[in-house]
Amino acid sequence: MSRSSTVILMILLGISIVGFFILNLLLGSVHIPFDEIIGILLGRNDGNVIWTNIILKSRLPQSLTAMMAGAGLAVSGLLMQTVFRNPLAGPSVLGISSGASLGVACVVLLSGSIGGVALSKLGVIGEVTITLSAIVGSLLIMALIAFVAQKVRGNVTLLIMGVMIGYIANAIIGVLKFFSAEEDIRAYVIWGLGSFSRVSGGQTSVFIILMLVLLPMSFFLIKTLNLLLLGDSYAKNLGLNIKRARLWVIGCSGVLVAVVTAYCGPVVFLGLAVPHICRGLFHTSNHAVILPASLLGGASLALLCNLIARMPGFEGALPVNSVTALVGAPVVMWVLFNKRKNDV
Amino acid sequence: MRRNETIRVVGLDTGYSDRKHTTVITHDINASLYSRELTCLLGPNGAGKSTLLKTLTAFLPPLKGDIMIEGRLLNVYSDSDLAKVIGVVLTERLNINNMSVDELVGMGRSPYTGFWGHMSAYDRHIVDESISLVGIDGLRGRMVQTLSDGERQKVMIAKALAQETPEIFLDEPTAFLDYPSKVEIMQLLQRLSRERDKTVFLSTHDLELALQIADKVWLLDKPHGVTIGTPEDLALKGEMTKYFQRDGATFDIESGLFKIDHKLTDSITLEGKGPVANMVRKALARHGVSTDAKDNNNRIYADESGISLNGDSYPDIDSLLDAVDSILDRI
């Protein structure tokens, strides 16, 4: 694909983000005129207080969260697919999101039965606790995976190890559920459905700042990722330290998933789907193109999914996970049907 | 200047080891490799060709002994230093999609490019030069997954050239190729060793080709270890016969190549000269008929004017063989 058409596609992706972002602010169960929204965003507080609250406390943070989460998951999925040389790899394969779930399950499910306080009733403190427990859980699992990565040679072995660790985490969650109070289980299940609106107020800015720091860091890995495409032997012969490279890529991907999962719950599918869509669009595997493309594509698709989840008529918002799969799966299938020979 | 010693191997044992077991595959190899020479590593399956190649290219640690490359011990090279000294072409099939030939050859510049992998004008120049040297200018924009095996092999050789290493190691570069492509790749490698002062070392199963084109041959075999020399020296010393003697094939010292033995059950007299007579002799040998007898009752005459058997002429060798069968009363 020529340089100019790559640039044009990138710009189109950027425009789609802006477009979906505006639609996310505009559409919802309450109708707010466009010029009012602009006014509210510019800080003119002359209008309706309810409208101001809806925009600043709900739609704006939700849109920003969706954008960042989508970008993070897509980049993370791309890194996983490259390092494992497996098109089915995604952020969830290494059990890192299961680790987050385990962390949340431990806190949510055990708080009721042991501490005697249902965390689901605690409001903001509860939210912060859930976020922290998800991060701790996923980072612990990631440390375990990183340790295993230094010990085993083959990528397939490592992938299977990750899947197994994920199963163990899910099994423990199952046991915890069995011993928990019903309302806690409900709280956990709702967290597990994924949502871009779960985080509130000050937490949103923490999440956005974290992502703004983490996402650009993935760009440091472009040369490493391109070398990894050649396979371990060729990459090593071209001067790459394979074990260190693997550690960096898995680490970067893992931290992104950990943070996104902590704030939005285990959002599925975007991480797997977006890199495929971008490879289908850009016809290249050069990470200097496909990494920024996945970042933009992830942000755009997440905004679209969020929009659909909140469409007027679906009062109360659909679970994000259902929408991501419903929107993402057909798109991936369409890309696969239309691909040129051996493209993906 | 004819050549320089670039790699010296002293008392090298190769094989695999883990905490419990050590498996020695080749034992006590002492040898050198030279620039401007194409060296072929020959040996039956399982003799340890790949293991030796992996050890020399630092994919495997040596079990014992030293490998000196350009005067330095192999194990003191860092990954990035070694990337500028040894370039490899491997047998493993590339599983890359949507990468152009240009980009893939450009990957050979990775040891020289900076943190972001951005290519300078000089890097681009080296890539262009490598592509033309291998003769694949026409493939530049093609995606790697659309190439044939032979084309892909050339692209990987161009990648190794772009790496600008004095040493190029290739693991069975001619496997999976059709015969003309095999010859082409071997000639290309020989030319590169001469024109670019490269030390080229490759493993192969294509014995005939290796014996015709290699400057040096390493014969590797479990019982005998490694024997090194020019193909001609090894032939004269009888090493070829020792290594490759099998039922049904003998090393022909006249031509320096291998010949398949045919079981000869009948004989016939062949007269005539030139290529036609030679081809008739060859066809009859495959058919189990010796042509050494001088005074056989049956007499074939073959030269440019035609082929005849006991006075009857035949248009081609196929019909001659039918006639020979009926005369010899063979079923």
Q: What is the ipTM of this complex?
A: 0.85
Residue A315 belongs to some domain of the structure: yes
Residue A113, pLDDT score? 58
Q: Name the residue among A223, A233, A240 with its Cβ closest to that of B116.
A: A223
Contact with chain B for residue A147, Cβ under 8 A: no
Say what the pTM is.
0.86
Residues B77 and B188 in one domain: yes
Find the residue in A nearest to B163 (Cα): A238
Contact with chain B for residue A315, Cβ under 8 A: no
Contacts of A241 in chain B (CB under 8 A): 79
Residue B122 belongs to some domain of the structure: yes
Rounded Cα distance, A288 and A280, in Å: 16
Residue B104, pLDDT score? 94
List the pLDDT tens digit at each of the 331 positions of chain B: 578 899 999 999 999 888 788 888 888 899 999 999 999 999 888 888 999 999 999 999 999 999 999 989 998 999 889 999 999 999 887 878 889 999 999 999 999 998 888 899 999 999 999 999 998 999 998 999 899 888 999 999 999 999 999 999 999 999 888 898 899 999 999 999 999 999 999 999 888 899 899 999 999 987 778 899 999 898 888 888 777 766 677 787 777 777 788 888 888 899 888 899 989 988 998 888 888 777 778 889 998 888 999 888 999 999 999 898 888 877 5
CB–CB contact B163 A286 (8 Å)? no
With CA atoms as reference, report the closest residue to A296 among A100, A65, A9: A9
Q: Which tokens hold the place of B141?
A: 């924009």
Residue A19, pLDDT score? 95
CB–CB contact B94 A241 (8 Å)? no
Residue A340, pLDDT score? 55
**Of B164, B189, B214, which residue sits at a domain end?**
B164
Residue B260 belongs to some domain of the structure: no
Contacts of A286 in chain B (CB under 8 A): 99, 103
- Amino acid found at A336: L
SS (H, E, C) chain B: CCCCEEEEEEEEEEEEECCCCEEEEEEEEEEEEECCEEEEEECCCCCCHHHHHHHHCCCCCCCEEEEEECCEEHHHCCHHHHCCCEEEECCCCCCCCCCEHHHHHHHCCCCCCCCCCCCCHHHHHHHHHHHHHHCCHHHCCCEHHHCCHHHHHHHHHHHHHHCCCCEEEEECCCCCCCHHHHHHHHHHHHHHHHHCCCEEEEECCCHHHHHHHCCEEEEEECCCEEEEECHHHHHHCCHHHHHHCECCEEEECCCCEEEECCCCCEECEEECCHHHHHHHHHHHHHCCEECCCCCCCCEEEEECCEEEECCEEECCHHHHHHHHHHHCCCC
Contacts of B95 in chain A (CB under 8 A): 85, 231
Residue A185 belongs to some domain of the structure: yes
Positions of E strands within chain A: none
With CA atoms as reference, report the closest residue to A255 among A86, A125, A75, A89: A75
Find the residue in A nearest to B102 (Cα): A286
**Total structural domains within chain B:** 3
Q: What is the CATH number of the domain that holds A286?
A: 1.10.3470.10
CB–CB contact B88 A226 (8 Å)? no
Length of chain A: 344
The residue assigned the tokens 């995606």 is B143
C-alpha dist (Å) from residue B88 to A237, A265, B59, B158, B160? 7, 46, 11, 11, 6
Rounded Cα distance, B89 and B73, in Å: 22
Q: What is the CATH number of the domain that holds B176?
A: 3.40.50.300
Find the residue in B nearest to A227 (Cα): B107
Q: Which tokens hold the place of A153?
A: 């040679």
Rounded Cα distance, B205 and B227, in Å: 16
Residue A344, pLDDT score? 43
- Using CA of residue A106, residue A108, residue A109, residue A115, what is the dihedral sign? positive
CB–CB contact B110 A227 (8 Å)? yes
pLDDT at A198 over 80: no
Residue B250 belongs to some domain of the structure: no
Contact with chain B for residue A277, Cβ under 8 A: no
Length of chain B: 331
Contacts of B88 in chain A (CB under 8 A): 233-234, 237
How many Cβ atoms from other residues are within 10 Å of residue B146's Cβ?
A: 14
**Of B122, B140, B164, which residue sits at a domain end?**
B164
Q: Name the residue among A229, A238, A288 with its Cβ closest to that of B83.
A: A238
Residue B87, pLDDT score? 95
Contacts of B87 in chain A (CB under 8 A): 237
Q: Which tokens hold the place of A82?
A: 């490259």
Contacts of A344 in chain B (CB under 8 A): 97
* Buried-exposed string A127-157: b where 16+ CB fall within 10 A, e elsewhere: bebbbebbbbbbbbbbebbbebbeeeeebee
**How near does any CA of chain B get to the CA of A342, in Å?**
7
Q: Which tokens hold the place of B156?
A: 């990987």
Residue B210 belongs to some domain of the structure: yes
Where does the pLDDT of residue A223 fall: very low under 50, low under 70, confident under 90, or very high at 90 and above?
Answer: very high
Which of B18, B84, B95, B110 to mutate: most A Cβ within 10 Å? B110
CB–CB contact B79 A240 (8 Å)? yes
**How near does any CA of chain A get to the CA of B270, in Å?**
57
Rounded Cα distance, B101 and B65, in Å: 39
Find the residue in A nearest to B113 (Cα): A223
| Long-range contacts, B257-262 (Cβ 8 Å, 24+) | B257/B208, B257/B211, B257/B212, B258/B207, B258/B208, B262/B286, B262/B288
User: Domain limits at B29?
Assistant: 1-85+167-245
Residue A343 belongs to some domain of the structure: no
Query: Which residues, other chains included, contact A52 with Cβ-Cβ below 8 Å and sequence gap of 6+?
Result: A40, A45
Which of A218, A237, A240, A290 to mutate: most B Cβ within 10 Å? A237
- Amino acid found at A132: L
C-alpha dist (Å) from residue A104 to A136, A139, A230? 9, 13, 38
* Mean pLDDT, chain A, integer: 84
Residue A22 belongs to some domain of the structure: yes
- Residue A111 near residue A157 (C-beta atoms within 8 A): no
**How near does any CA of chain A get to the CA of B69, in Å?**
15
For A139-184, write each residue's pLDDT tens digit. Answer: 888 888 878 877 777 778 888 888 888 889 889 988 988 888 787 7
Residues B171 and B160 in one domain: no
- Amino acid found at A59: R
For A102-150, write each residue's pLDDT tens digit. Answer: 888 888 777 765 555 555 556 667 777 888 888 888 888 888 887 887 7
Residues B158 and B112 in one domain: yes
Mean pLDDT of A12-23: 95
With CA atoms as reference, report the closest residue to A84 among A191, A135, A159, A169: A159
With CA atoms as reference, report the closest residue to A191 among A91, A263, A298: A263
Contacts of B57 in chain A (CB under 8 A): 237
With CA atoms as reference, report the closest residue to B219 among B194, B198, B238: B238
CB–CB contact B117 A284 (8 Å)? no
Q: Which residues of B touch A (CB under 8 A)?
A: 57, 59, 79-84, 86-88, 90, 92, 94-99, 103-104, 107-108, 110-111, 113, 115-117, 145-146, 163
Residue B247, pLDDT score? 66
Question: What is the share, in percent, of chain A residues with pLDDT greater than 90?
Answer: 28
Residues B152 and B179 in one domain: no
Residues B5 and B78 in one domain: yes
**Of B211, B245, B279, which residue sits at a domain end?**
B245
Q: Name the residue among A226, A234, A341 with its Cβ closest to that of B117.
A: A226
Crossing angle (nearest 10°) for helices B121-134 and B179-195: 130
Which of A81, A152, A228, A238 to mutate: most B Cβ within 10 Å? A238
- Using CA of residue A28, residue A30, residue A35, residue A39, what is the dihedral sign? negative
- Residue B35 near residue B4 (C-beta atoms within 8 A): yes
C-alpha dist (Å) from residue B104 to B139, B157, B159? 12, 11, 7
User: Domain limits at A274?
Assistant: 3-338
Residue A124, pLDDT score? 66
Residue B141 belongs to some domain of the structure: yes
Query: Which residues, other chains included, contact A13 with Cβ-Cβ below 8 Å and sequence gap of 6+?
Result: A293, A296, A297, A300
Residue A343, pLDDT score? 46
Top pLDDT among A30 and B58 is at B58
**Total structural domains within chain A:** 1
The residue assigned the tokens 């010899």 is B328
Residue B291, pLDDT score? 85
- Amino acid found at A6: T
